[in-house]
Structure 1
Amino acid sequence: MELELRHLRLIVTVAEQGSVTRAAIALGLTQPALTAQLNRIDKTFGAAVFTRDQRGARPTALGEFVLGRAKVLLPAMSALVEDAHRFVAGADVRTRSVRVGTASTALGGLFVNRLISELEVEVTSVTLPDVEGVTDQLASGALDVALVGLCGNAEPPAADGVRWSRVSTDPVFLLVPDEHPLAGRPVVTLADLAEAEWFGVSGAGCFQRCFVTACARAGFTPGKVSEADRAACVDLVRAGHGVALVQPTFPDTPGVSVVPLADVPLQWAHHVGWHDESTTLPVEGVVDAAVGAHAEAVSRSSPRFVDWLAKA
C-alpha cells in the first residue's frame, strides 16, 4: 500500500480520540474498516503505529514519530489547497506560507509574531521535543525556518542544506520559592544549593553534562535531577519541591524568585535556522525577527536580568 494523506489523518484522529471505536465514529467509518486501514498502515511502516488493547489506542514510539511529521504535513497541504483555490479564483496569493519549528525555547511565540508582522507571511508552527527533530525536519523540507535553544557550549546538529545563526547567549539563572533563604540575595553559587533537588536541567545539547561538571567544580555532586518545562518548574518550585534552572528571560511570577548564579557557570543559547532550498524568506529578515524576539523577551523579563545585563 502507498501511504496517502488520508492515512495520516486517520492516525491523527485515532491519537486524538485515544480509541479506535471513538475514532471510527468521528471519521464516519465502521470499526472493522478502520482497524483494517490501521493494519495496512502498520504493514506499510513495518511496525505498529498504535498499541491497541481494552484501554484504548496509544501511539508507539514509531507512532509518536509519525504523528510529529503528520502534524506538520497536514496543515501544510491544507494551506497549499487553500492557496490554490484562491489562485484559481483570481485572489491575491502573494502572501507566503511558512512552516516554523521550535524546540527548547521560550521565544517561539515572539518569533512567530515578528515573522507575521515584519515579513507579512502566514505561519504554520510546530513545537518539537528536541533540536535533533527540528534539524531533521529542516533538512527534509518539512520546515522552512526554526528557532531552537540549547546549551551555550553546543552548536545545533549539522545537516545538508541547513544553516544556523546564533541569536543570543545568555546566563542561566536560578528559580527558588519566594520564602527560600537565598531568594533575596543578589547572586548565589551552585555550592549554596548542594543539597537541592533540581528541575529544568534540559538534555538539549550538552547542558546536562555541563551542569554536572559545574557542580563538580563547585565541590559537590547534584542529587535528583529532572527535566521539566517552564510551567512545571514554576509549580514544583513554588510548592517547595526543589529549585530550577531557567532561561534569564523568565518574567516575574508570583510565588517564585529568579536569582543570578555567580560567575555564570551555565549558559543557554538561541539559534535560528533555515534550509537553503526550502525557504523563500530573506535570511536577513528571519535573523532580525529572531534577534528582535530575544530583545522583546529581555524587555519583559525579571528586573534581576535587566540589572544583571546593566552590570555585565
Structure 2
Amino acid sequence: MQLELRHLRTLCAIADAGSLSRAAATVGVSQPALTGRLHRIETALGGQVFRRGRQGVSPTPFGLFVLSRARSVLVTVDELLTGIETESGTAGVRVGGYATPVLTGLLHRLFELPGARITVHTEYSPRLLLDLLASRRLDAATLVDYPGHELPVRPSVGVRVVATEPIAVALPAGHPLADGDEVPLARLADEDWLVTPPDGAGWPEYFYTACQEAGFAPRVRHMMTEHDMIRALVAEGRAVAPCQATLTVGTDIVVRPLTGPTLWMRHLLAWRLGGPLAHRAPELAALAAEAHRTAAADVPGLPGRLHPGGPADRPLHGGSAVTTG
C-alpha cells in the first residue's frame, strides 16, 4: 500500500482523539473500518504506531516519530493549497458547521452581502471542524459544546459564544407529555430513544450521564444524523429524541426543553486567526447570534430560557475565556 495524505490525517485524528472509537466518530467511519485502516497503515510503515489498551490508544516511540513528521507534512501541504488558492484567485470564504438553525441562518445572511463568494462545508464533529480551521481549510465555523466537555482551545483559532440553550426532546405530537412546557427527563425512562452518534466532543456521553443522574439508562433503539429520518421516526412514534431546542419540526412533532436535570449546550462561532474573516469576527458573531434569536423566537417559551448566567460564560477547556456574543 502506498502511503497517502489521508492516511497521515487518520493517524493524527487517532492521536488527537486518544481512542479508536472517538477517532472513528471524528473521521466519519465505523470503528472496525478505522481499525482495519490503521492496521494497513502500520503494515505499510513497518511498525506499530499506537499501543492499544483498556483506556484507549497512545503513541509508541516509533509512533511519536511518525506523528511529528505527519503533522509537519500536513501543515506544509495545507499551506501549499492555501497559497495556490490565493495566487489563482479561487479562494473564497469557507464556512463550515453542522446543519443547525445557527449555520443556516448565518449563511442566509452572508449570502446576502454584496460580492459574497462563500463555499460551505458541513461536518458533524465539532472537533473535526476545529481541525479544519487550524489546518487553514476553513475560515469560520459554527460549533456546539456541552458543560464538562468544552472544546479545547487552538492557538490559531478564535472562538466566541453565540448562545446557550437548553437541550430539548422531540416527541410525537400525540405523546402524553407533549402538552407541557417542559419535560422531566425521568418521565421518559421507559421510552425508546433515537440519538445522534458520538461526535468526538462529548455527545452523547453528556446526555447519557444526565440520564444516569435521573435514575435510568436510555434504551437507544436508533442512532443517526439524518434530520429527515429523525423527524420521520419521531413523528411515527417509533422513538423520542434529544435535540436542539431550535430544531425545525412540523405539526406532527413537538420540541420541549428537558428538566431534572436541565441539560445545556452552547452555540459557538469559531474563525481562523489571520484568515479573511478574522477582522470581521465581532460582526460575524452578531450575525450568528441574530440567526439563533430568530430561530428561538419561533419556539414557545424558549427565548426566556436562553443565556443563563453560568454556562454561557464558562471558559473553553484550556484556559482562555471566550466572549459572549
Cα offset, 1:197, TM superposition = 1.7
1:179 is aligned, of 174, 181, 194, to 174
- Number of the residue aligned with 2:94: 99
Does the residue aligned with 1:285 lie in a helix, a strand or coil? helix
Equivalent AA in structure 1 for residue 250 of structure 2: T
Gaps of 5+ in 2: 8-32, 38-73, 310-325
- Number of the residue aligned with 2:220: 224
CA distance in 1, matches of 2:287, 2:169: 28
Give the 5 Å matches for 1:261-272.
261-263=258-260, 265-272=262-269
CA distance in 2, matches of 1:166, 1:148: 9
Q: State whether residues 172 and 264 of structure 1, in contact with CA within 8 Å, keep that contact through their aligned partners in structure 2.
A: no
Equivalent AA in structure 2 for residue 239 of structure 1: E
CA distance in 1, matches of 2:189, 2:111: 45
CA distance in 2, matches of 1:287, 1:258: 26
CA distance in 1, matches of 2:304, 2:285: 26
2:138 is aligned, of 143, 160, 182, to 143
Equivalent AA in structure 2 for residue 208 of structure 1: P
1:298 is aligned, of 293, 296, 299, to 296
2:255 is aligned, of 258, 279, 288, to 258
The alignment status of 1:211 with 2:199, answered yes or no, reads no
2:281 is aligned, of 272, 280, 283, to 283
Give the 5 Å matches for 1:1-312.
42=2, 44-45=4-5, 83=89, 97-103=92-98, 105-118=100-113, 121-201=116-196, 203-204=198-199, 205-224=201-220, 226-229=222-225, 230-263=227-260, 265-280=262-277, 281-299=279-297, 301-306=298-303
Does the residue aligned with 1:181 lie in a helix, a strand or coil? coil
Alignment RMSD: 3.7
Cα offset, 1:297, TM superposition = 1.5
Identity %: 25
Change in Cα spacing, 1:152 to 1:235, as seen in structure 2 (3 Å) is farther
Equivalent AA in structure 2 for residue 203 of structure 1: P
Bigger-Rg structure (1/2): 1
| Aligned residue pairs, count | 242
Cα offset, 1:152, TM superposition = 4.3
CA distance in 1, matches of 2:4, 2:113: 43
Q: Deviations over 1:26-46 (max 9, x none)?
A: xxxxxxxxxxxxx9xx55459
Equivalent AA in structure 1 for residue 116 of structure 2: V
Gaps of 5+ in 1: 1-38, 48-59, 63-68, 85-95
Q: TM-score, with normalisation over the residues of structure 1?
A: 0.66
Report which structure shows greater RCO (CA 8 Å, sep ≥6): 2
